[in-house]
A and B are shown apart, each in its own frame.
Chain A
Amino acid sequence: MKRIIFNILKHIAFLLGALFIPYLLQQTIFAVKKAAYEDAQATSQEIQEKTTSISQNIDAVTKKLDVKTPKAHYLVVNSTMNEFRLYKGKELVRDDKCSTGSYIMLRKGEEKQWVFKTPKGEFKIKNKITDPVWKKPDWAFIEEGLPVPSANHDSRFEYGVLGDYALYLGDGYMIHGTLYQRFLGMAVTHGCIRLNDENLELVYKSLPIGSKVYIY
């Protein structure tokens, strides 16, 4: 029994040696290599000059980066967590829940399908209106199990469902209100961004046409 235990311990020691010996070797090689490179000799004046030059470069690049952030109001939407943040420059004006695309893929046979997701990227407010009317697209009827009417049929127009304001982002996507405020914070839309009435009014009044909207 003792012999078996001794043999097992011997083998474990052998394997530990396979880890430890190269580790020591590795550490020594690294230390030598690093020392060889970091042996830069310089006078204090040279260091001072270099420090000044790098600091100036850092300032210049920082200024170039700062310009990228809009000075005016802009909106940031997190479509994963269904949250938005309204900024003015770097100052946070409002953050709250919103609703974004549900990621549902609606299939009508083999030929037609729609994916209800909010697009990601940098957008601009292309237009904004009060008392928007929703012109229901084909999928809205298909989703409800209804026949699709003609392009300008009366049943396509719904009043009051988008809230008091709508801000257009292009390609049919909007920031608008909702009748279903209890679903805010959840991924339930067909791609548009829904806000509650108070937030929608603030966003509408803060973002003029051309304002940036960042969606991720």
Chain B
Amino acid sequence: MEYQHQPKKKSLAKKIILAIWYTLLLFVFVILMIKQLSPVSKINQFLDSVESDSLYIRQNEAINNHSDLVDLTREEAYLKALLELSNSDSAQLTLNLKDSTICLYLKGVKVHEARIKEPEVDIILRHLPNSHYLWLFSRPIPVREQFATFEKEPIIVKDAPKDTIEAAANNEIIVRENEPAFVHLKMAHDIDLIIEQDSLLDNRTKWARYEFNYNIIKEDYLKTIRAFFSSGKMETHPVIRLKVPTDDLVSLYRALPHDAEIVIRY
């Protein structure tokens, strides 16, 4: 009897494990499918937004989509956005992938310029029809959230010394260590700008880069899974990714106000 029961038990356990395994596999399959197809829904969302903007539709001419005019119309859009940006009282950012520069402007004056390396523009943004590109990038884009692997204001708190002896003892100059520099700016229209330092000198920086990217991917997938179970709206973030020399990146990020705006040209 025992001999007959044993394989039955095993086979049931095996079936349960297989059922769990295939459910998991199917779940991963569905999530991957959703992730892969989400850019299509995002581009549709952009198209809908543009088409519901009746004023823009009236002003925009179909000829702007002609391939001979794409470059020129984009340059015009960039400069107009730059002019609008100059009305801001604080420092603001411009990203021009055409001439590979990222600049900081203060009241219309260029105060900092850095060369960018290895720019990558997301498939959604690359496939945007020109009329829709112009709708998105003819104005500065507000930054909704800012994250970085270093502090915006590196404040060190010191308590006042009780007497001159204590003051003399604590009078050393604080030399700040260079921290790994990776910046994530979440902009309006769900566009993400990810800026990395251009060199990975030590293991600490490599680890910081891994952690930084891992957190972005994790957050992205968790949002997809949450939306999947709650039947909510899937969020897709078109990404522009680039590298900038470390000192420039730290200078640019620390100069950006909390209500930053960015002008983009690609």
Which residues of A pack against B, CB within 8 Å? Answer: 11, 14-15, 17-19, 21-23, 25-26, 29-31, 33-34, 36-40, 42, 46-47, 50-51, 54-55, 57-58, 61-62, 64-65, 68-70, 74, 76, 78-81, 102-109, 115, 117, 120-122, 142-146, 183, 186-188, 212, 214, 216
Contacts and interface: CB of A to CB of B under 8 A. Distances in A.
24 contacts: A17-B29, A18-B36, A25-B40, A26-B36, A30-B123, A38-B67, A40-B65, A47-B68, A54-B69, A54-B76, A61-B76, A61-B80, A61-B82, A68-B107, A80-B250, A102-B156, A104-B156, A107-B158, A108-B159, A142-B160, A145-B165, A145-B166, A188-B173, A216-B255
A25 B106 CA distance: 44
Q: Which 5 A-B pairs have the closest CB atoms?
A: A68-B108, A37-B129, A22-B36, A145-B167, A216-B255
Interface in B141-166: 153-166
Contacts of A144: 161, 164, 167
Given A18-B33, A58-B75, A214 B69 contact: no
B127 A122 contact: no
Given A18-B36, A64-B83, A117-B153, A69 B66 contact: no
A216 B129 contact: no
B214 to A, nearest CB: 19
Given A81-B247, A106-B160, 15 more contacts: A18-B33, A19-B32, A33-B47, A34-B129, A36-B129, A38-B65, A38-B67, A47-B68, A50-B66, A65-B108, A74-B109, A78-B111, A80-B251, A104-B156, A122-B106
A43 B250 CA distance: 49
Given A69-B109, A122-B107, A40 B66 contact: yes
Interface residues of B, number: 71
Contact of A216 (B106, B131, B247): B106
Interface stretch (B3-11, B85-93, B200-208, B226-234): B85-93
